[in-house]
Structure 1
Amino acid sequence: MAVIVASCWGLGQAVLSRAAAPARRDRWLEWGMATSLGLGLLVMAMQALGLVGALQRVPVLCLLAAGVIAAALQFPGWRRQAFTAPPVLTLVDRYALVGLVLALLPTLSAPLAPPVTYDEIMYHLPYARQVAESGRLGVYEWLRYPWFPYNYDLLYAAVLQVYDDVFPHLVHALAGWLSVLVIYRLGLMYANRLAACMGAAIWLFMGQYDNAYIDMAVSLFVLVAFVALWWWRDAEAPDRGVRWLAMAAFFLGLAAGSKYQSLTFLPVVGLIVIVRERRPQVWLLAIGCFLLPCIYWYARNAVMTGDPFNPLGAHLFGFTNWNQADYQNQLVDVQENHANPPNGVLWAVLLAPFGEVVRRSRAARGAMLFCGWSLLVWVVTSRYPRYLAPALPLIALMAAVGWHQLGLWIRGAWRKRSAAGVDVVSVPASRLEIGLGKAAGVVAIVLLGAACVYHSARNIREISPTAESREAFFRRHIAGYDVLHFLRQHPIEGKTYQVMLNDSLYFGPDLMYGDVFGPWRYADFIMLPPDQLARKLRAQDFGTIVIKTALAPYIHTQPDFDRHFRLLLEKDGVRAYRILPIAP
């Protein structure tokens, strides 16, 4: 992990050092920006390798080595640079920093458990493994989302070349930790250390450090795009900040090449840019930097399916692998079944505009504009909490500003009540206030410490460093693991059709089809009589069918089922059958 971090920083710093210095220098914020840029450059490199069929172990290691060499060459000069000194630590700041460290500790052990989370074993890791095994980009139609952009998943494919399937968790967690660093440094620069620690801790609590999703990566790229955009906006002369604008566009392109939802930021970013910059050459540069990391996915989809946003653009570009019912079912699932309000701690973002931080800081007002747009789009389109993730780091920081402001209001009300007619702002804290503050800090630290110990212990129990402990772990968490493992280890001629096991594809054989959406949707297969089901599966080159019988008990219990299907293995409520040849 240290090698990857050093390599990312080396690659990113080599580019970042050629841009104009931001108006306000911060050593660790710039370190986080450089490392994030390096992550993006690695994504681009993996995309290029995959396009030519060379995403293999040796080229991956060579790229990492080049980044480490670049880091070693640039580190002495970076150390000699002068940066603004941090503000002096107060007692409150010390409490806040201890609390932030306690919030961070459980996330260090969370990524070390084997993969068992829904989406990562449904399509993220299966896709990454296919790319790692073939060395090239491909379209794997047996996955739920074969046409999605998979930028960040290419890093998972890269690390699978050199390590095991736990390492993608760390690569995903790295994006979360970098976001924490950026949030903290932004809060320290534009608000205060307490708000910075609170914002970083909120994001830590909401992060997904135990899986190989891509949401935290998208969040990171959107966050650093905002920072780069602000550095461009804050530049004294527009010409000096053009490279920051190009970098912001590049980060947004990385996000858009990882998840479609990132496209929703383009209108507000375009509005911000056009207010200040109208030169065609600058716009062409920014558009080119945006398209560079994401154009492959959208152009491929447009050429091969007619829908650049497949399957989300079906109503505009026509249905292909999804039909109208699939599209509607997905909308219902997102907008009704999973619609929920944001986490309660984030509601304090509504208080931030009334505080001093937003009134005195243009950067904070820009952050509020970004947060407001994100919340508006989210409310109108989905109301699914995970789809708010790209904007959550900034929302978490501004929510912390809101909580801090609420604390100031409560403190002011307390002082007005106890010191009528006195200027409460100029009155120093009383011994009672100091004592109450210390007591509150101690209580908060004790509670956070207890939560830290509990979650860290739970995470450590899940770590499975040996083959035997991994097998036991998978049996505890994956229904039918032994059956799926058997089919993977003993391949049978023909494809496999699965029923209600789409959340466990990573553990089964390659080419394991079947889902609620797409051309192999359950609705078109599982209600057929046994003879018709066998005939249809055989006609599409399926050799086996595996069924989670607890969720689909109406298939194998039909009369004459055993005449067309022969049981191979049954365990833990999952059955695997060989599809027998159909008599002419």
Structure 2
Amino acid sequence: MTHYAAFAVIVAACWGVGQAALSRMAPPAQRDRWLEWAMATSLGLGIFVVAMQGLGLAGVLRPAPVLALVALGVIAAALQFRGWRRRDFAASPTVTTIDRYALAGLALAAFPTLSAPLAPPVTFDEIMYHLPYARQVAESGRLGVYEWLRYPWFPYNYDLLFAAVLQVYDDVFTHLVHALAGWLSVLVIYRLGLMYVNRLVACMGAAIWLFMGQYESAYIDMAVSLFVLAAFVALWWWRDAASPDKAPTDRGVRWLALSAFLLGLAAGSKYQALTFLPLVGLIVLPRERRPQVWLLAVACFLLPCIYWYVRNAVMTGDPFNPLGAHIFGFTNWNEADYQHQLVDVQENHSNPPNGVLWAVLLAPFGVAAKRSPAVRGGLLFCGWSLLVWGVTSRYPRYLTPSLPLIALMAAVGWHQLGLWIGHAWRARRAARAGPAAAAASARTWTQVIGALALLPLAAACVYHSARNVREISPTPESREAFFLRRVPGYEVLHYLREHPVEGKTYQVMLNDSLYFAPDRVYGDVFGPWRYADYIMLPADELARKLHAQDFGSIVIQTALAPYIHTKPEFDRHFRLILEKDGVRAYRILPIEP
């Protein structure tokens, strides 16, 4: 409960800051209370990201400034809440019988995500580099480049919120900060579906995205998804304000500036967000050519992300390090690393999108696409996203920034398929028993199918909720037992952290457990400390090379690398410190003359 109490404070602070900024803009053409609430909270989340970046650049990312900013956000929320409640918004459509089944299904899909974030961190990338990076920033209070991490030069916008959390709370709360982005995007999808199609499609789209979320981790993918989604919502509101029958106004331009800012937040969190820039250009250029407007939009885009790209360009020559190596030159990665990554992504992890998303192909042929320009705009977004994804990575996770809208458009496709089947069935039934009997039978079958659909959802809800609850570790003892069970090499790495050996540590096959290791643990598939340059050396050459580079210890997951500690004369150069569960730590002995 304490985590969710703190979570409520953070949500209030984000909404307060975001609403203060959003209130300076003309309201969108179609008012929706909860869509605007989600947009304000998303904007507030982004403003906090920029604030943490500023504190980190100044070297004062410390608990006092972080808590002061949160307090200011809560105060802003309290000052605006009463006025916000009194504003007039469009009424939601009437809830039908089928809508009740859809809402029940959505609630069943959402319920397990409430417990998923409460487990300690053990997911692959979060303990490989997201949380290790955040911890380094939290300990130093400033932004830095930590060369022993797999991706030291990536943009780390959203990870700065994790760094702030680690200063004032615990690592479990980082999951809730990531989950907030997921839940906000679910709300945006639901309200968009309700506004432009119907409640059934809204529930289906939100449920599809819920099932694909990563609520148990401190990743950044759902945050990128939220910022991209919110950017295109703001872009749609700008389009409404700048439609041909309306003269563009400065207030309408502010939606364009907001869209650019949100897209900049996404680009400052993950390189993949840059692929949306050409699509935005194609949408904006036919309607807006004033240089001053474009300069404003570019400035808003660069504000949250320019630091990362300029830093990379100045320090490595590659603003997109390491992805731009073939254009800007190789630095910490070499050609073999680059090719290895391409093979890993494009061949080893190349898969088609989740089967439930394929219904997006039906959406262009449905009534919703014919009636709603917003649906057609969503389909344009999906088409662009799938095209870029298909010609680049074909790695399902790299489609995540686009998944919320793809999920909504897939729901439109599934709904259209249901309409086609229903129309065909009613036509046959009407031919046999008459239109009235066909309509009554259709209502009955709709209720039966709705009730039956809830049964597997209820079973899945119970199963996943029970599994999530089992992983919650509220005491130090249960947390320790959880890590021992789930993290390879936890006991050895924790021992090295508590009893540091002089010098750096080189690890082999434990790069997915670095959050529990001492600082400055080097070794990976990629980069200047790549395994290929070390682990195949004879024991004496390995010891000499490590010693020359100021390494004092080496830790090996022997189950995955059994050929290192078994080298001839290995024990002459390395002394065992600790062995647990197939992981060994060795001290590197002084080199004999």
TM-score, normalised on structure 2?
0.97
SS in 2 for 1:371: helix
1:275 is the counterpart of 2:275: no
Counterpart in 2 of 1:517? 526
* Displacement after TM superposition at 1:119 (Å): 0.3
- Residue 584 (structure 2) pairs with residue 578 (structure 1): no
Tell me, in whole angstroms, the C-alpha distance in 2 between the residues paired with 1:422 and 1:162: 68
In structure 2, what residue type is equivalent to 1:79? R
Is residue 2:134 matched to residue 1:128?
yes
Matched-pair contact (CA < 8 Å) for 2:178–2:215: yes
Q: Which residue of 2 aligns with 1:105?
A: 111
In the other structure, the counterpart of 1:491 is: 500
Aligned equivalents of 1:10, 1:74: Cα separation in 2: 7
Q: Deviations over 1:380-413 (max 9, x none)?
A: 0010000000000000000000000000000111
Q: Secondary structure at the match of 1:551?
A: coil
**1:294 equivalent in structure 2:** 305
Amino acid in structure 1 at the alignment position of 2:88: A
| 1:249-264 alignment runs, 5 A limit | 249-264=260-275
Contact kept? 1:105, 1:456, Cα under 8 Å = yes
Alignment partner of 1:438 is 2:447: yes
SS in 2 for 1:11: helix
- 1:305-454 equivalences under 5 Å are 305-420=316-431, 430-454=439-463
Q: C-alpha separation between the residues in 2 aligned to 1:343 and 1:137?
A: 37
Question: Residue deviations 1:179-223, cap 9 Å, x none?
Answer: 000000000000000000000000000000000010000000000
1:16-165 to structure 2, matched below 5 A, reads 16-165=22-171
Distance 1:423 1:195 in 2: 29
Asked whether the 8 Å contact 2:426–2:439 carries over to 1, the reply is no
Q: Is the 8 A contact 1:232 1:238 kept in 2?
A: no
Percentage of identical aligned residues: 80
- Partner SS, residue 543 of structure 1: strand
1:449-488 correspondence runs (5 A): 449-488=458-497
> Which of 11, 17, 20 is the matching residue for 1:11?
17
Secondary structure of 1:459's partner? Answer: helix
Match of 1:173 in 2: 179
1:241 deviation in Å? 1.2
> What is the letter of the counterpart of residue 575 of structure 1?
R
Shift of 1:371: 0.5
2:106 and 2:207 in contact (8 A); partners too: yes
Q: CA deviation at 1:237?
A: 3.2
What is residue 191 of structure 1 aligned with on the other side? 197
Q: Structure 1 residue 418: deviation in Å?
A: 2.3
CA contact (8 A) 1:221 1:252 kept: yes
- SS at structure 2 position matched to 1:498: strand
RMSD: 1.1
**Unmatched 5+ residue regions in structure 2?**
1-6
Deviation string, structure 1 residues 306-339 (Cα, Å, up to 9, x no partner): 0000000000000000000000000000000000
| TM-fit CA distance, 1:479 | 1.5
CA contact (8 A) 2:158 2:269 kept: yes
Amino acid at match of 2:156: Y
Which of 213, 219, 222 does residue 213 from structure 1 map onto? 219
User: Counterpart amino acid of 1:551?
Assistant: L
Q: Which amino acid aligns with 1:537?
A: L
Where 2:286 maps in the other structure, the secondary structure is helix
Worse-matched range after superposition: 157-166 or 236-245: 236-245
SS of equivalent to 1:430: helix
Is the contact made by 2:112 and 2:461 (CA closer than 8 Å) also made in structure 1? Answer: yes
Query: Where do residues 532-571 of structure 1 align in structure 2 (5 Å cutoff)?
Result: 532-571=541-580
2:315 corresponds, among 304, 319, 332, to 304
**Aligned to 2:234, which of 223, 228, 231?**
228
Counterparts of 2:369 and 2:470 in 1: how far apart (Å)? 44
Do the aligned partners of 2:429 and 2:438 also contact (CA within 8 Å) in 1?
Answer: no
Query: What TM-score does the superposition give when structure 1 sets the normalisation length?
Result: 0.99
